[in-house]
Structure 1
Amino acid sequence: MLQNELIEACRQNDRRAQLKLYNKYSQGMYFVALRFIQDSFEAEDAMQEAFIKAFAKLHQFNGEVTFGAWLKRIVINKCLDKLKAKKLEMVAINERTMTTVEEDDNWQVQDGIGVEEVKAEIERLPEKYKYPLMLFLIEGYDHEEIAEILEISQVSSRTLVHRGKKKLQEELKMIKNGTGY
């Protein structure tokens, strides 16, 4: 069954088609959720809730993006909702103090620092930088999408990503120089 046919069958509440679609995407979406929610049970719960929401809102899927990208956004939003519900310190941003920041496309880390070290350091960042940076660096969203997901302005997204990168570079430099953990 082609993916378009599978999605159409899901729109008709075909449970077998829904199971096929779930089986096709569940593992990947679980790992997306796990990047945001470090608890495996909570991540699985967020992923499953996202699938329930996706099946309920499938009529809104119009094919402008791939189904996987559409579903990933639902998973990320569900994770962020869960984190907000836990009252983790999502810092309110006073946008009046924000200034436009130049985008640094040549951003790099020092040689010898691996992806896992970068991910671990992102986890240690303050939440006001952590989520925008994860969405930008790991998930590949642009500032318009980050602004929409986090319900902030694009200027705030740029500023938080820029400041998050600088903070991350400082932390990685400390590890590389042996002055870190």
Structure 2
Amino acid sequence: MELTVSIHRDELVERCKKGEAASYKELYQRYAKAMFNTCYRILNSIDEAEDVLQESFTEAFKNLHDFEYRTSFGGWLKQICIHRSINQLKKRKFRWEDIETISVYNIAEEDFIDENEIAFKVEHIKKCILSLPDGYRTVLSLYLLEGYDHQEIAEILNVAESTTRTQYMRAKQKLLQLLKEGI
């Protein structure tokens, strides 16, 4: 028994491929907010997120003829947004910490944080996530919010998978610390 997945052609995308100007605007309006949020979660800067969003749509529209429905248009566009956001982060020159190049991290020596005792509030969590260093915030966002696994994140960021796991572990611990401190 063979399992096949059928991805339907999006009429709006097809109209854009034919060059219908109004369709480009409609396609932009359909995806802009979600893509902006993706960019913003990675970059933590409204200005940079807006710039990356515009660059991503420009790239997508320029290469629309190459889009072949191997995935949804939204998934394809999201990949472009994520890659452009990561490239923008790299321009900031932040440093990834690789587990092989740092001293052994002993969680047992750190203060124990009981996750069940922390009262979570959405706005407070967002504020704390945005206050994380770029590397931590990027990995945490890609893993928790975008649904990528560590192998995929490592490929996107061009780092070792152990690095993404370390960044995630530290980001989570730092986030919990910020939440506990009420920052």
**TM-score of the two chains, using structure 2 as the length reference:** 0.75
State the Cα distance separating 1:95 from its structure 2 match: 5.5
Describe the SS at the equivalent of 2:69.
coil
Note if 1:81 corresponds to 2:87: yes
- Identity over the aligned pairs, expressed in percent? 36
Match of 1:45 among 32, 36, 51: 51
Alignment check: 8 A CA contact 1:133 1:165 kept = yes
Alpha-carbon displacement from aligned partner over 1:71-91 (angstroms, at most 9, x marks no partner): 122112222222332x2x421
Q: 1:64 to 1:3 in 2, by over 3 A?
A: closer
Give the match for residue 36 of structure 1. 42
Give the match for residue 104 of structure 1. none
Alignment check: 8 A CA contact 2:98 2:162 kept = no
Note if 1:18 corresponds to 2:24: yes
Opposite residue 89 of structure 2, the aligned amino acid is L
Bigger-Rg structure (1/2): 2
User: Higher relative CO (CA 8 A, sep ≥ 6), structure 1 or 2?
Assistant: 2
Opposite residue 140 of structure 1, the aligned amino acid is G
Opposite residue 128 of structure 2, the aligned amino acid is E
With 61-70 and 33-42 compared, the bigger mean Cα shift is at 33-42
Give the match for residue 91 of structure 1. 95
Alignment check: 8 A CA contact 2:40 2:49 kept = yes
Two-structure CA RMSD over aligned residues (Å): 2.7
Note if 1:149 corresponds to 2:152: no
Give the match for residue 111 of structure 2. none
Alignment check: 8 A CA contact 1:109 1:169 kept = no
Unaligned runs of 5+ in 2: 1-7, 105-113
Deviation beyond 6 Å, 4+ runs, structure 1: none
Give the match for residue 125 of structure 1. 132
Give the match for residue 70 of structure 1. 76
Alignment check: 8 A CA contact 2:36 2:49 kept = yes
Unaligned runs of 5+ in 1: 100-106, 176-180
Query: d(CA) in 2 for partners of 1:66 and 1:108?
Result: 36
State the Cα distance separating 1:64 from its structure 2 match: 3.2
Opposite residue 83 of structure 1, the aligned amino acid is L
